[in-house]
Structure 1
Amino acid sequence: MTDATKPTAPLAINAKDAPPRSKPSNYPEPFFSRMLKREKRPLGDLFGLKNFGVNLTKLAPGGESALLHRHSKQDEFVYILEGEPTLVTDQGEVQLSPGLCAGFPAAGLAHHLVNRTNRDVIYLEIGDRTPGDEGSYPNDDIKAVLGPDGKWIFAHKDGRAY
């Protein structure tokens, strides 16, 4: 293929037209089923971004963004577009609404969003892809290590594999 015939990333897209991930979560059970009310559209991947990810995420009523977690190396940021999720942290909760945003430095607060309303929540989530990242989950028997291939490896907190 010449440079002129190589497939290229789009210059721009309507974010809501991006295809959703085919698998709602990488978590093993019993955590996987908790993510069934979450839909992620990986926008950054469509443009070939390597250093950080961007997802357009929808939480249906009763949905949650992730397990309550923190990253050892990854920074995360969310920007609310529609709906009113609750930001739950290990230091308290706050109601969010469109236009509000929140950031989570590496090794900071454990956090996740939950949708306790009767309408969808839509937000952007942005995170870096620092190699060697680990996820810790204060409320659940799970830990995660980012493998060299960029995929998460999950285990129980005592080290047993899922």
Structure 2
Amino acid sequence: MTESTKPRATGPLAVTAQDVAPRQKPSIYPAPFAAMMQGRQKRVLGDLFALQNFGVNLTELAPGAMSALRHHHQMQDEFIYILEGTPTLVTDAGETLLRPGMCAGFAAGNGDGHQLINRSDAVVWYLEVGDRSAGDAVTYPDNDLRADFVAGQWQFSHKDGTPY
């Protein structure tokens, strides 16, 4: 396929990321975990451009909010880049205060649970990038939760396999 015959997305060519409306559903976690994501807003940028191989989100964390439950992926690499604010990165190794311009990556299958928590009084903005690996599974070391990416959707269960 030549460059001129590749299919193009029908969406915009460029946008101002902060002008993109936040995702309507604040969290895909089942209850009671979804309620723990209050204060987090994601602007789903990758889908806007019909990206197929990786996702990109501009995420806003209000004071006291967290990015996600502490988790790790079996198949998906993740990357974050701090734009504004000072979130705390929580991993198995402990806590690291991040500042604008800092970034972190989480290789698939390394088993190191991670999350960001905004313990400051100011809003945090960051970019998150992850691939869209088929067959991915997510483990949540601090919660009775597991997620499996099946047929393009996340399916949540208890650690013993019982569905939510």
TM-score, L = length of structure 2: 0.93
Label 1:46 to 1:39 Cα distance change in 2 as closer, same or farther (>3 A). same
Structure 2 partner of 1:20: 22
Give the one of 104, 114, 117 matched to 1:111: 114
Contact 2:59 2:126 in 1 (8 A): yes
Give deviations 1:108-156, integer Å, cap 9, x for gaps. Answer: 22100000011110000000000000000100000000011x2110000
Structure 1 partner of 2:35: 33
Structure 1 unpaired stretches of 5+: 1-5
Please give the secondary structure, in 2, of the residue aligned with 1:34: helix
Please state how far the C-alpha of 1:10 moved relative to its aligned partner: 0.9
Give the one of 120, 127, 146 matched to 1:124: 127
- Structure 2: distance between partners of 1:65 and 1:119: 15
Give deviations 1:73-106, integer Å, cap 9, x for gaps. Answer: 0000000000000000011110000000000000
> Does structure 1 residue 82 correspond to structure 2 residue 49?
no
Please give the secondary structure, in 1, of the residue aligned with 2:144: coil
Give the one of 113, 136, 140 matched to 2:139: 136
- Structure 2: distance between partners of 1:30 and 1:9: 35
Please state how far the C-alpha of 1:14 moved relative to its aligned partner: 0.2
- Structure 2: distance between partners of 1:121 and 1:49: 25
Label 1:34 to 1:7 Cα distance change in 2 as closer, same or farther (>3 A). same
Please give the secondary structure, in 2, of the residue aligned with 1:16: helix
- Structure 2: distance between partners of 1:32 and 1:48: 26
> Does structure 1 residue 151 correspond to structure 2 residue 153?
yes
Runs of 4+ in structure 1 deviating by more than 6 angstroms, as ranges, are none
Contact 2:39 2:62 in 1 (8 A): yes
Contact 2:9 2:50 in 1 (8 A): no
* RMSD of aligned residue pairs (Cα, Å): 1.1
Question: Number of paired residues?
Answer: 156
Structure 2 partner of 1:69: 71
Contact 2:9 2:49 in 1 (8 A): no
TM-score, L = length of structure 1: 0.94
